[in-house]
A and B are shown apart, each in its own frame.
Chain A
Amino acid sequence: MQYQSQKVAIPYFVGAIVLFVAQILFGLIMGLQYVMGDFLFPEIPFNVARMVHTNALIVWLLMGFMGAAYYLVPEEAETELHSPFLAKLMFWVFFAAAGLTVAGYLLVPYSTLADITGNELLPTMGREFLEQPTITKIGIVVVALAFLYNLGMTILRGRKTAINLVLMIGLVGLAVLFLFSFYNPTNLVLDKFFWWWVVHLWVEGVWELILGSILAFVLIKVTGVDREIIEKWLYIIIAMAFISGIIGTGHHFFWIGTPEYWQWWGSIFSALEPIPFFMMTIFAFSMVKQRRRNHPNRVATLWALGASVMAFLGAGVWGFMHTLSPVNYYTHGSQLTAAHGHMAFYGAYVMIVLTIISYAMPLLRGRTAANSERQQTLEIWSFWLMTIAMTLITLFLTAAGILQVWLQRVLDSPLPFMAAQDQLTVFYWMREFAGVMFLIGLLLYIASFFVGDKEPEASVKTIA
């Protein structure tokens, strides 16, 4: 850590991990409701648990991105952050808004929450991932504006690097696209069409810029490879992301009342979307291979490599599996979608946030380069437990999805939805066990911050 103001990243990282735990607990609740339908009924209905699960995910990833930006932008710009106070203030605004929103989901019926938050004035609630009350959404916009202003002023004053620039484009894009969440016409087709401008153009558009720039930053640090080479890779990766991903939005416009030509545009361009993810894998591995030094923080390197692989598998491979319209005709909105959603979110965005935390936290907590040997060993265990658990979750949901499609959509006399679900119980149980394994991994991850934190730093020699 070279600049004092980078420390504002700490609360963002801690807040992110707190919400991560909440996300997983509610995932486990839903997993159980899948097999024991009336579990916690009527106190916590499935839809409420789902909102907590997905919204906590999105908010903690945003917090992770913000923490990452507050950490890396000053270092790249070679100057202190414009206003550390504003950054701290906005953390508390954001965290309080998230806490209140989750409390609202859990304590009152959703329609009551809509009433008391004035949804009537500007109805935006009740759409997947965008369930937050309108005032929470406005809060998010305010936090985002203050955040972008703070970073923008910092960058203007300092050194301009490609990493900072790409990160900024990604973050500004994120904020601008979020504005489409305020557009909610009665016309269902228009509603859905522009809903994807938030959801798809985030994860398969601007978030890839954020992902790429964080990855590039960490790779420069842990490998010592020349910045020119890394930034060249970064540009070409994000170029491919936009070239494929923007028109690739069309893979969501097959069956929602939009013109049929989207079946061509969407299939062809989204079939190219794995390319940037594949390039990220090659990029990460070849930079590590060409490294000019061995960094004592080997677990940060492991996360970076892991993210590049799992993002390719989850987004690239599992995305490609159902992206061509003749396939998607059968798989649309099935457990296969959930399988892909899980591994893609985990591989690309969860893992990149954990990468930057793994790299930055030791420095923020006063280490010169890395955590102790013991902490790193524990964190490596948590890496494998969480990653293997997520792989299992994905595989079980994939099996469930294939069987579901077969029973409910392919057979000559197809089963009704609920009857088909009954046949999938065994896979849902296995998913739940894998979920428990994930939770254990997460608890070990948290333990790695405390167990062995008084021991001396790992050095390059001790890791051999």
Chain B
Amino acid sequence: MSEAFTKSMARNIFYGGAFFFLLLFLALTFDTINALPKLDNRAALESPVGPQIAKGKHLWEVNNCIGCHTLLGEGAYFAPELGNVYKRYGSNLDAVKGRIKGLISLPAEGIPMRRMPRFKFTDEEIAALAEFLKYASEINTSGWPPNDQG
């Protein structure tokens, strides 16, 4: 680098740049937070099934579903995307519940495929998970994923 460009100039670019872009980022964040109510399907959270969705999200977390699956494209790449699984199963809650129930009651031995753990869920818990997945599928994701296979 040329001599005319000094260390203190470089330092000032760092502080100035960091400060300016941090402020811009905070402004965009603020705007995003304001825009979210139209996009993030919070109507569902505020509806009568809201508590069930919250319970579903909690179950989702304490069973670490994200350790195998993606949700809206984020997570692990070992098992199918679940952000749109509700749509994949014809927007039918019972179909989603039945699918989960089927997967977790497969025998432990003798199926040489990628496996979902044999979670011990009650029917209420499966219903809560399904409601959570339905809620996720109704978030406005700007048209992602490209098709129902996720």
CB distance from B7 to the nearest CB of A (A): 4
Whether the Cβ atoms of A333 and B73 lie closer than 8 Å is yes
Contacts of B68 in A (CB 8 A): 45-47, 50
Contact with A along B74-111 (1 / 0, CB 8 A): 11111111000000000000000000000000001001
Within A401-459, the residues touching B (CB, 8 Å) are: 408-410, 414-418, 420-421
CA distance A293 to B83 in the complex (A): 57
CB distance from B90 to the nearest CB of A (A): 14
Partner of A246, one of B22, B64, B70, B71: B22
Q: Known contacts being A186-B57, A188-B135, A333-B81, is A232 close to B6, with CB within 8 Å? A: yes
Contacts of A233 in B (CB 8 A): 1, 10
Interface centre among A115, A189, A332 (most CB of B within 10 A): A189
Question: Which B residues form the contact surface with A (CB < 8 A)?
Answer: 1, 5-7, 10-11, 13-14, 17-18, 21-22, 24-25, 28-29, 31-33, 35-36, 39-42, 45, 53-54, 57-58, 60-68, 70-81, 108, 111-115, 117-118, 135-136, 139-147, 149-150
Q: Known contacts being A33-B114, A38-B111, A333-B81, is A126 close to B66, with CB within 8 Å? A: yes
Q: Known contacts being A110-B64, A126-B63, A127-B61, is A42 close to B72, with CB within 8 Å? A: no
Whether the Cβ atoms of B112 and A37 lie closer than 8 Å is yes
CB distance from B15 to the nearest CB of A (A): 8
Q: Known contacts being A123-B58, A247-B25, is A188 close to B136, with CB within 8 Å? A: yes
Contacts of B79 in A (CB 8 A): 46, 417
Q: Known contacts being A46-B78, A246-B21, A247-B25, is A257 close to B140, with CB within 8 Å? A: yes
Contacts of A30 in B (CB 8 A): 78
Partner of A46, one of B14, B22, B54, B67: B67
Contacts of A338 in B (CB 8 A): 77
CA distance A47 to B65 in the complex (A): 8
CB distance from B67 to the nearest CB of A (A): 2
Whether the Cβ atoms of B149 and A415 lie closer than 8 Å is yes
Whether the Cβ atoms of A418 and B114 lie closer than 8 Å is yes
CA distance A337 to B41 in the complex (A): 27
Whether the Cβ atoms of B40 and A188 lie closer than 8 Å is yes
CA distance A158 to B18 in the complex (A): 26
A18 at interface, CB cutoff 8 A = no
Binds B, one of A148-156, A248-256, A296-304, A364-372: A248-256
Contact with B along A237-279 (1 / 0, CB 8 A): 0111011001101101111111110110100000000000000
In the complex, residue of chain B having the shortest beta-carbon distance to the beta carbon of A337:
B77
Contacts of B72 in A (CB 8 A): 188, 192, 255-257
A48 at interface, CB cutoff 8 A = yes
A204 at interface, CB cutoff 8 A = no
CA distance A253 to B17 in the complex (A): 22
CA distance A193 to B35 in the complex (A): 13
Question: Which A residues form the contact surface with B (CB < 8 A)?
Answer: 30, 33-34, 36-38, 41-42, 45-48, 50-51, 110-111, 114-115, 119, 123, 125-128, 131, 162, 184, 186-190, 192-193, 228-229, 231-233, 235-236, 238-240, 242-243, 246-247, 249-250, 252-260, 262-263, 265, 329-330, 332-335, 337-338, 408-410, 414-418, 420-421
Interface centre among B32, B33, B118 (most CB of A within 10 A): B32
Whether the Cβ atoms of A46 and B40 lie closer than 8 Å is no
Whether the Cβ atoms of B147 and A414 lie closer than 8 Å is yes
Given contact pairs A36-B112, A252-B74, A408-B149, a sample of 5 additional A-B residue pairs in the complex whose CB atoms are under 8 Å apart: A46-B68, A110-B64, A238-B14, A243-B17, A247-B25
Contacts of B150 in A (CB 8 A): 408, 417
CB distance from B147 to the nearest CB of A (A): 5
Contacts of B80 in A (CB 8 A): 416-418
Contacts of A34 in B (CB 8 A): 78, 114
CB distance from B114 to the nearest CB of A (A): 4
Q: Known contacts being A38-B115, A233-B1, A239-B18, is A259 close to B31, with CB within 8 Å? A: yes
CB distance from A56 to the nearest CB of B (A): 14
CB distance from B99 to the nearest CB of A (A): 12
Contacts of B139 in A (CB 8 A): 188-189, 256-257
Contacts of A417 in B (CB 8 A): 79-81, 149-150
Whether the Cβ atoms of A258 and B25 lie closer than 8 Å is no
Whether the Cβ atoms of A246 and B67 lie closer than 8 Å is no
Whether the Cβ atoms of A254 and B11 lie closer than 8 Å is no
Whether the Cβ atoms of B115 and A41 lie closer than 8 Å is yes
Whether the Cβ atoms of A258 and B14 lie closer than 8 Å is no
